[in-house]
Chains A and B, each alone.
Chain A
Amino acid sequence: MLATLLIVFREVIEAGLIVGIVLAATKGVPTRGLWVGYGVAGGVAGAWLVAAFAGEIAPLFEGAGQELFNACILLLAVVMLTWHNVWMASHGRTIAPEMRAVGAAVAAGQKPLAALSVVCGVAVLREGSEVVLFLYGIAATGGTSAIGMMAGGALGVLAGAGMSALMYLGLLTIPARHLFSVTSSLITLLAAGLAAQAAAFLQQAGYVELLTSNVWDTSWLLSDGSVVGRLAHTLIGYTDRPSGAQLVVYSLTIAIIVGLIRFRHLRHLAVSCAKCSSGAIASDQGLGIRQPSTARATATN
């Protein structure tokens, strides 16, 4: 029962941290609970599927099926996180103040929510499929009673969810005016970490042959095996012995996200300045309704 509790706790917290960041990043956005709920539910369903077909996925692509699958869903999450961050940077600041008041803004806010919903789904799917495989193994060996396993699993979920909730509440203590920059930095590091994990999978599958040696070793400082090391791995992609390829992918992801944010932000400023000078904004009411629809138009470009 203890083994079940520990493993379930560990996997739940790894997925829960990501869901916590998503919830903090979408604070104040109506219907976010629903989207996050869809993501988590989709992830749970996906986890069962992936676990059930683990034997079928592994031999695909000359034995690289598992790595390619993992790399693909990780990169999907990276794309969604990038897109969310860039979208929020160019529209979030103008929408946020009106978000609670204006119904029209809700529709515009759904897009980044859908992206983050996918991110939650991927996080839950990855950790969840491990939980399912592990529990299946326990059940098959009959090493522990069914009741013990269920109790351990349930306690693990509760403890993991509780820790994730604490982290979420911790993030919420950050004053509202700073919360946006904190969550967007967290999302950038999270995306870079996931991209580096994808690189590690491609390296393991033999697809990346260059720069696969470890560049440095900081295991004396913070080991990948320690609790803090695991959390840092989930949150910011920390690894004590990164390969050159991982470092390149990690830095490149940060550079791309920051670059896109700067570019979109400048462009958005230019657009709003052009509007200001042409006197397009007539009244407060007009501002509230017009802003989100322009936002939507720009986003589809």
Chain B
Amino acid sequence: MRYLVPLPVLITALLASLTAQGAGDQSFELRLKEHKFSPQELTIPADKRVKLTIKNLDATPTEFESHNFEAEKVVPAGGEVSLYIGPLKAGTYLFFDDFHEDQTKGTLIAK
């Protein structure tokens, strides 16, 4: 059991290093109103991780998702969430609201 003693120290150190997350990341914002993203097309820098904030101005929950990059997050009705994306190679990526996939779509351009 003695080797377990340093464990709490390690965990605390790990958590402390994690809380410094995202200090230098560029931020971008998307709004959702009447099941439409604005802007419809968002340009972000390529090869850099970015922070994306999504504000849901509708009265129903949505799920921000993409099949082209890793993202899956519920945005509560009237709420906002943030997530980290990338670094993405230069290119065009599609995202959508998983609950209204046919009508609520947008494009992410990395360059």
Interface of chain A residues 227 through 248 with chain B (CB within 8 A): 229, 239-241, 243, 246
Decide: A67 and B99 in contact? CB cutoff 8 A: no
Interface of chain B residues 80 through 100 with chain A (CB within 8 A): 81-89, 98-100
**CB nearest to B60 among chain A residues:** A137
Decide: A206 and B69 in contact? CB cutoff 8 A: no
Given known contacts A137-B61, A137-B62, A209-B21, is B87 in contact with A54 (CB within 8 Å)? no
Interface flag for A218 (CB, 8 Å): no
**A63: which of B60, B62, B71, B82 is its contact (CB, 8 Å)?**
B82
Decide: B74 and A54 in contact? CB cutoff 8 A: yes
Say whether chain A's binding surface is mostly helix, strand, loop, or mixed: helix
**Smallest distance from the beta carbon of B28 to chain A beta carbons, Å?**
14
Decide: B77 and A55 in contact? CB cutoff 8 A: yes
**Smallest distance from the beta carbon of A126 to chain B beta carbons, Å?**
11
Please, what's the 1-or-0 string for A185-221, where 1 marks a CB less than 8 Å from any CB in chain B?
Answer: 0000000000000001101111101001110000100
Decide: B21 and A58 in contact? CB cutoff 8 A: no
**Chain B residues closer than 8 Å to A214, beta-carbon distance:** 69, 88-89
Decide: B68 and A219 in contact? CB cutoff 8 A: yes
Decide: B60 and A213 in contact? CB cutoff 8 A: no
**Chain B residues closer than 8 Å to A67, beta-carbon distance:** 73, 83
Interface flag for B16 (CB, 8 Å): no
Q: What's the interface size class on B, roughly?
A: 35 or more
**Smallest distance from the beta carbon of B92 to chain A beta carbons, Å?**
12
Q: How far is the CA of A223 from the CA of B66 in the complex (A)?
A: 11
Decide: A140 and B22 in contact? CB cutoff 8 A: no
Interface flag for B7 (CB, 8 Å): no
Decide: B99 and A133 in contact? CB cutoff 8 A: yes
Interface flag for A283 (CB, 8 Å): no
Interface of chain B residues 38 through 94 with chain A (CB within 8 A): 47, 49, 51, 59-63, 67-77, 79, 81-89
Interface flag for A263 (CB, 8 Å): no
Q: How far is the CA of A219 from the CA of B76 in the complex (A)?
A: 30
Decide: A55 and B79 in contact? CB cutoff 8 A: yes
Given known contacts A54-B61, A63-B82, A140-B59, is B71 in contact with A204 (CB within 8 Å)? yes
Q: How far is the CA of A239 from the CA of B85 in the complex (A)?
A: 16
Interface flag for B9 (CB, 8 Å): no
- A selection of 16 A-B contacts at a CB cut-off of 8 Å is A59-B79, A66-B81, A133-B61, A133-B99, A136-B61, A140-B59, A200-B72, A201-B72, A204-B70, A205-B83, A205-B84, A206-B84, A212-B87, A213-B47, A213-B86, A224-B68
Query: Known contacts A200-B70, A224-B67, A239-B70; can you find 5 more A-B pairs with CB under 8 A?
Result: A58-B74, A130-B98, A141-B59, A203-B84, A206-B21
